[in-house]
Amino acid sequence: MKTKPLQAAKRTLEVGDRVLPLTVKENRRATRITLRIEPGGRALSVTVPVGLHRHEVDDFLDRHQGWLATKLKKFSTDGAIRDGGSIMIRGVEHRISHSGSLRGVTEIAIIDGEPVLKVSGLEDHMGRRISAFLKKEARKDLEALAMKHAAAIRKPIKSVTMKDTKSRWGSCSWDGSLSFSWRIVMAPPLIIDYLAAHEVAHLKEMNHGPQFWALCGQLCPCMEEARRWLKQHGSQLHALDFS
């Protein structure tokens, strides 16, 4: 009896003590199986050549269990926001403290020498209130940095928007509109500055050619260090669940 060809589908995959959503997608241009851990480590995706049989994908996943387990160790199994937990803001760990008050603002305070993020409102809404705070702080930082870098290359910025994208940290459109992932505000200041410089450089060089990277390096001398940090730690900024 012939095995049925693979159909694009959503499944789950057990890796150690984790059960992760797995999306299997066929791609006519694919010549081999490609496995990807989605940003935040909360899901997996597999891209396969058209017509591949399911048992071939299952064999591939079995062979890569060890690799997946090693890679997933850097992601916490619990990305929930809770009272008493912690969150990084501009590279500094802050303890989360729910005030218990229904009214008030989300703000940073120093309590007994410790950085604390104080959050009011209903406890069930903590994630939403914290994400709104991070978005506001990210806008403040990135608008100022983008304007500084744009002035250095004498290019205008049309607008700056904050988004929660997973596929990229920022973007620059042809009309000078810049977009950033607000989650970058959890990273150290150097990384935030690099992201602003990267997108501003696109105002002059709408590509990733040698001239672009040279300009980006002029705007942010620590560019290579920042790129290494994002490659190593960037996905962890997506691991927190603010829903």
Q: pLDDT tens digits for 51-72?
A: 888 889 889 989 998 888 887 7
Coil, strand, or helix at residue 228? helix
Query: For residue 2, what pLDDT is reported?
Result: 46
Which contacts (CB < 8 Å, 24+ apart) does range 66-74 have?
Answer: 68/15, 68/35, 68/37, 68/44, 69/15, 69/16, 71/37, 71/41, 72/15, 72/16, 72/18, 72/37, 72/41, 74/41, 74/235, 74/236
Tokens of 88: 């990084």
Structural domains in the chain, CATH included, are 9-72 (no CATH), 86-238 (3.30.2010.10)
Condensed to tens digits (0 to 9), the pLDDT of residues 168-208 reads: 999 999 999 999 999 999 999 999 999 999 999 999 999 99
Provide the sign of the torsion angle of the four alpha carbons 167, 169, 172, 177, taken in this order: positive
**Mean pLDDT lowest among 33-37, 154-158, 203-207:** 33-37
Tokens of 155: 């290019």
**What number of CA atoms fall less than 13 Å from residue 139's CA on the CB side?**
12
pLDDT at 223 over 80: yes
Q: Structure pTM?
A: 0.74
CA dist., res. 150 & res. 20, Å (int): 42
Query: For residue 206, what pLDDT is reported?
Result: 94
